[in-house]
Chains A and B, each alone.
Chain A
C-alpha cells in the first residue's frame, strides 16, 4: 500500500513521539482502508481516493470541528476536473497515555502533502511526558498517613516479619 508508506514517511518526518505516532498510524490506517464504517468516534473519510476528483470525505458522527471536513481549496471545482483539489481528512481520535491524538492529512492529486496532529501538539505531549517522570518531592508533599488511617502497609520485605505483624496488630486494633 503506497498510501500507507507515504503516511508513515510523513509521520516520521513529523517526529511525533513513538506513542503518538503509533496512534496516528493506527488512526490513518482506518482512513486508508475503505471508508463507510460508521465511526463512533472521530470520522472516516472516503478512501484516500487517488483520482483527485475533489470529492470530499464523508464526515462521521462526532468529532472536533475539523474532523472529516474536507476543505476544497481548488481553483476549479468542476466535476471531473483533474485540478489540484486539496482535501483534508481527519483520522480517528486515539486515546494514548498522554492524551487524545488525532491526525489530519491533506491530500492533493492523490498525494499526501501535509500531516498535522490535531488536539495534541508535540510540545504538549512532551510536557505530559515530563509530568510523568519522577521528580524530587518533599516529605510534606507526599500524601500523608498515620498508621491509624491506612488499611494496609507496603514495605520492602524484611527478614524479620515481627515488624509487619506488630504493625498489622496495631492496624487491627485501630479498626476492630
Chain B
C-alpha cells in the first residue's frame, strides 16, 4: 500500500483571494507496496518539481489579474488606463468567457461589480487551477490532487493502481479508488460536513439511472457519448466551494431580480459544486450563492453536476450524488 504525499507551497494569489495567500496543495502517492524511504523521496521530488511549475503559473496569473496589485493589467483596466480592446488576448478571452457564463446563469454570475468595476476573479481562480492541471498532465503526472484556496481538481487515484490489468468494462471489477474531498462545515470550520469522491475509475453509480437504463435492451452496445460512463453521468474531477459566511462582500447579488427585491443577504451560506471541470464547478458555486434557490434549480436542471448547499439555518440541500450509499 502506497502512501499519500502532500506538499503545501505558499503562493500569493491575491486575484483569486482578496489578497490573502492561497496555498496550492499538491498530493500524489508512492508506488504500490512501497514504503521505502527513497521511493517516497522520489515522489516528493517529482511533486516538488511539478509544484514549482504550478507556483509559477499562479504567480503569473496573479500579476496579471490581481486587483490588489496596482501594476496588474486588471488594475490598469479598472483605473481606465487600458481599454479591453487594448488588453491582452487572455484578458479578453476570460472576459468573453465571463459574459458567456453570465448569460448561461441568467445573470447570477457576472464579471462586473456593483460599482461597475471589471472583476474576473470569479473566473481566474478556476482558470488558474485548470491551467495547473494541464501542466501536471503535460509533465506526465497521472495521479494527483490539487487544492488551491479550497477548490479541488484531481486526476487518477490516491492509491496506486492494482498490478492486474484492468479491462475496459464500464461496470464491475475493482476500479481505482477515488480521492475523497472533505467539505468544511461553515458553522464550525474545524469539522467537516461530509465528503465527496472525486476521480478514480469507479465513480459512484447513480442508482436511479441504473434502474432506468440497466436493463434496456440493445443499449449496452452503444458507445458512450462524450466519454461518459454508462450511467450517463460525467466524471467528477473538480469540487469548488463558495461561501458568504466569511466574506459575503465578494459575491454580489446585483442583476438578479429577487422575490424580496433588493440586495438582501444571500439565501445560502455555503455552496459546493462537483463537476467534470474546475471552472464550471467554481463559476456555478459562485452563481448559486449569488442567485439563491432559483439559480440552484436552474443549475441542477441545466448542468450535469452535484451540489451541496448549506442554508442560513444550517439545513442542507443536496443532489443525490452527495448521499452516502447506505442512505440512498
Contact of A96 with B by CB under 8 A: yes
Decide: A137 and B323 in contact? CB cutoff 8 A.
Answer: yes
Contact of A5 with B by CB under 8 A: no
Partner of A158, one of B189, B232, B297: B189
Contact of B82 with A by CB under 8 A: no
Contact of A79 with B by CB under 8 A: no
Decide: A137 and B317 in contact? CB cutoff 8 A.
Answer: yes
Decide: A62 and B221 in contact? CB cutoff 8 A.
Answer: yes
Partner of A157, one of B149, B158, B181: B149
Decide: B323 and A154 in contact? CB cutoff 8 A.
Answer: no
Closest to B17 in A: A157
Contact of B194 with A by CB under 8 A: yes
Decide: A134 and B318 in contact? CB cutoff 8 A.
Answer: yes
Contact of B20 with A by CB under 8 A: yes
In the bound complex, CA of A147 to CA of B181 (Å): 9
**Number of A-B contacts defined by CB within 8 Å:** 219
A residues 97-143 near B (Cβ < 8 Å) are 97-100, 119-120, 124, 128-129, 131-143
Decide: A99 and B212 in contact? CB cutoff 8 A.
Answer: yes
Decide: B180 and A151 in contact? CB cutoff 8 A.
Answer: yes
Most buried by A among B181, B186, B212: B212
Decide: A152 and B182 in contact? CB cutoff 8 A.
Answer: yes
Segment at the B interface, from A28-36, A44-52, A69-77, A162-170: A162-170
Decide: A134 and B296 in contact? CB cutoff 8 A.
Answer: yes
B residues 240-287 near A (Cβ < 8 Å) are 240-247, 270, 272
Closest to A95 in B: B225
Residues of B near A78 (CB, < 8 A) are: none
In the bound complex, CA of A40 to CA of B6 (Å): 45
Contacts A93-B222, A143-B195; A154 near B183 (Cβ below 8 A): yes
Interface, chain B (partner A; CB < 8 A) = 3-6, 8, 16-18, 20-23, 25, 27, 145, 147, 149-152, 154, 158, 179-184, 186, 189-190, 192-197, 208-209, 212-213, 216-219, 221-225, 228, 232, 239-247, 270, 272, 296-297, 300-301, 304, 307-309, 315-320, 322-325, 327
Sample 22 A-B pairs with CB under 8 A, ordered by A number: A64-B216, A95-B225, A99-B232, A119-B216, A129-B301, A131-B208, A134-B300, A137-B317, A137-B318, A143-B325, A147-B182, A150-B192, A152-B182, A154-B196, A155-B150, A156-B184, A159-B20, A164-B23, A168-B23, A172-B6, A175-B4, A176-B6
